[in-house]
Amino acid sequence: MAAYGSLVWVGQALGPRVDAITEDLIRVTEQMIPLNDVAADLAEMRAASIAENIAAVQYVLANNIDPATVGTPAGAAAYAQRLARRGVPLTILLRAYGLGQYRILDAAIGLVLAVPGPDQPARIAELLKFAGTYLDRLNSSMGRIYEAERDRWLSSRQAARQQWIARLLDNDDVDVAAAEEVLGYRLDQRHHAAEVWSTATGTDAVRALEQARQLLSAAMRTGGTELVAASGDRAMCIWFPVEQPCVLGELAEQVEASGLPVRVALGPIGDGLPGFRRSARSAARAKALVISAGESAPAVIDFDTIAPFALLSDDPGELAGLVHRVLGPLAGDGAKVELLRKTLDVFLSEGASYSRTARVLDVHRNTVQYRIQQVTGRYGIAVDTDTFELRFALGVCRWYRHVLTRTI
């Protein structure tokens, strides 16, 4: 037997008043929670849920049912699920049920006060206890239903988005209009894709990726909302709708200054669906190159600046053979030879100028001369002939660490 038997008469007396209470509550709810907060097409469903909930409270009271054992009304559950799928906040739902509980409790207390007697305070206390128990159970149940449906809906929606993105990237026969509808992203514009991945783990990685997305969005000066898709573990690909490319140096400075544990690889800007694909694929190639280069790679890289290396064959034998034929022992995996390779690379880029190389490396001119003498004398590499093959080999050493010979 439930603990609220003395309230049975209150529930029975509420019976004839249920319709009036329901109509009043629907009106008040519409005033306090306007339809601009709840989609207009949900108005009927909300009204039906209110009516069902009022009827349920009256029935529980009139039949001496323990409120702690009451299940969620079917209409209320369906309404919660619909709100979850529409992205309406849970607070909107809970506010409505709190308001309903207050209205019916007010009517019940009015019935008790209309019957004088020494037990009025005890009955009101019982009503408050009943209302608290019922509302707590309802809110907990509705919250679980809402969150479960929200998680399921988001998961299925994300899966659908991933499927559409995969079709856009890999399938020439794709319904572009349908894809745009699902993704909320136009394809008849200029796209700048970025691969972003984090070296952190768990929630730190999630937080870092979101902060990086916001930073990139501001730096790109986008003309609309970007499109985001998971591209691996702790990684995502982002397409930004842009008119002009961002300044790579400024973006790199911002990412490094942020201290975020992320790397960024940018594809070239492209128009329409072909550009959408090309930019994403190029960003993925640039990412693979950065991963191959290891920690020495910059935090932000642009595909266009490393395209010759990003497009190389993945045959390690061919790359290693070329590198060691051109560089010999200078293609070693050690700090000293890496320093010499970097100095030689800058020296060749600066037209074999010792002074300009010194400024770029921020060292003394004599230091540059000493290092170049080691390159030419100890390693036998000529720097005064055609340098294309030499610079190409140096670039391969930088981006493909697997071609290096380990040194002691």
DSSP letter for each residue of 219-247: HHT-SS--EEEEEETTEEEEEEE-SS---
DSSP class per residue in 318-339: HHHHHHHHHHGGGSEESHHHHH
pLDDT in the model for residue 408: 38
CATH architecture of the domain 185-310 equals 2-Layer Sandwich (3.30)
pLDDT at 316: 65
Q: What is the mean pLDDT of each run of 10 residues along the chain (408 residues)?
A: 73 89 85 64 80 87 85 84 80 80 85 84 86 84 87 78 89 88 91 93 88 91 85 89 85 92 93 93 90 86 84 69 86 90 92 92 93 91 80 86 70
Cβ-contact 24, 67 below 8 angstroms: no
* CA 272, 275, 280, 283 torsion-angle sign: negative
Q: How far apart are CA 238 and CA 192, in angstroms?
A: 8
Phi and psi angles of residue 240, each rounded to the nearest 5 degrees, phi first: -105, 130
Identify the pLDDT of residue 287.
Answer: 92
Q: Is 238 exposed, middle or buried (0-12, 13-18, 19+ CB in 10 A)?
A: buried
The highest-level CATH class for domain 5-153 is mainly alpha
Q: Helix axis angle, 43-62 relative to 74-86, nearest 10°? A: 150
Among 25, 212, 10, CA closest to 120:
10
Q: What is the pLDDT of residue 38?
A: 54
Res 220: pLDDT: 87
DSSP-assigned beta bridge partners for residue 190: 271
Domain ranges of the chain: 5-153, 185-310, 316-406
Could you tell me which of 249, 204, 212, 243 has the C-alpha nearest to residue 228?
Answer: 212
Single out the residue of 242, 296, 232, 234 nearest to residue 266, CA to CA: 242
> Which residues sit opposite 230 in a β-bridge?
236
Give the fold, CATH level 3, of 316-406. Answer: Arc Repressor Mutant, subunit A (1.10.10)
Handedness of CA 332, 335, 338, 339 (dihedral sign): negative
CATH topology match: 185-310 vs 316-406: no
Element at 375 (helix H, strand E): helix 365-377
